[in-house]
Amino acid sequence: MSGSKRETVHWFPPADGVWPPTRRAAHLVVGRVWGPAFGLRVDGGENLPEGAGALLVVNHLSDVDPPFLAAAYLPRDLLFVGDARHFRRRGFAALLFAVGGFPLSVDKIDTRAIRYARDRLEAGRSVVIFPEGRPTFGHRMLPFHYGMGYLALSRRTLVVPTAIWGTQGIFEGRRLRGRGPVTVRFGPPFRAPADGSRKARARAATERAQDEVAGLVRELAAEDRR
């Protein structure tokens, strides 16, 4: 990565993952304003694990996906793996860190981000990752990056296949184009395979997650058409 100021990816996450003064405000905004304003519907809440680290593996429709996922997961906190491009302006990076975001560089093996996410998962926290790497704005998913599978190998971690639908039509550029509804659907959790090499186990976990997320997305797209 170039050493220019513009390309610097800032890194200063709070010790707890979420800056405490922003936690309550963020919960109020996403729970009482953001979600209701766009008709948020949550399915499969019974699939969310208690007392274990949860890796929510989600299709990526739009840059506005994270607040809907945060609203769907209330009252618990979520930490978000974000594309490093969002963390290049210090002020915006500070806001993202305060509400639980942290950067991942997709053009290299980002050991710092992977280690940070793994440590939080092993501490029983919940982490969201968008393994496609960028928004698709539709039901045709991109192949998942295999780095997701290595996070699934963390101790005590359950993978929760998750689908979001409806955010692809809300914004066009910076303009509000629609008002939802938006649906977040949590599928049954699973663990990465216990046998085989780390590479093989990570690949198997990634491929299973992609298959299950794709199935949830197909369900939501079909329901939308009806």
Strands 157-165 and 53-58 turn out to be parallel
Share of the chain above pLDDT 70, in %: 93
Band of residue 111 on the pLDDT scale cut at 50, 70, 90: confident
Q: Per residue in 140-175, pLDDT tens? A: 999 999 889 999 998 789 999 999 999 987 866 566
Count of beta carbons in the 10 Å neighbourhood of residue 136? 17
What are the residue ranges spanned by the domains of the chain?
Answer: 5-225
Cis before 103 (ω within 30): no
Strand ranges in the chain using DSSP code E only, listed in sequence order: 41-43, 53-58, 79-83, 101-104, 126-129, 157-165, 171-172, 175-176, 183-186
Is pLDDT larger for residue 177 or for residue 166? Answer: 166
Residue 1 predicted with pLDDT over 60: no
Average pLDDT for the chain: 89
Q: How far apart are CA 120 and CA 71, in angstroms?
A: 20
Is pLDDT larger for residue 187 or for residue 19? Answer: 187
Token representation of residue 59: 């299709």
Band of residue 178 on the pLDDT scale cut at 50, 70, 90: low
Q: How far apart are CA 117 and CA 113, in angstroms?
A: 6
Domain boundaries 5-225, CATH class: alpha beta
C-alpha pair distances (Å), 100 with each of 20, 88, 136, 198: 10, 16, 23, 28
pLDDT average, residue stretch 173-186: 78
The residues, ordered by sequence, that sit 6+ positions from 148 with a Cβ below 8 Å of its Cβ are 55, 57, 129, 131, 205, 206, 209
pLDDT of residue 174: 60
pLDDT of residue 226: 75
Q: How far apart are CA 32 and CA 147, in angstroms?
A: 34
Q: How far apart are CA 146 and CA 11, in angstroms?
A: 23
Beta bridge partners of 165: 183
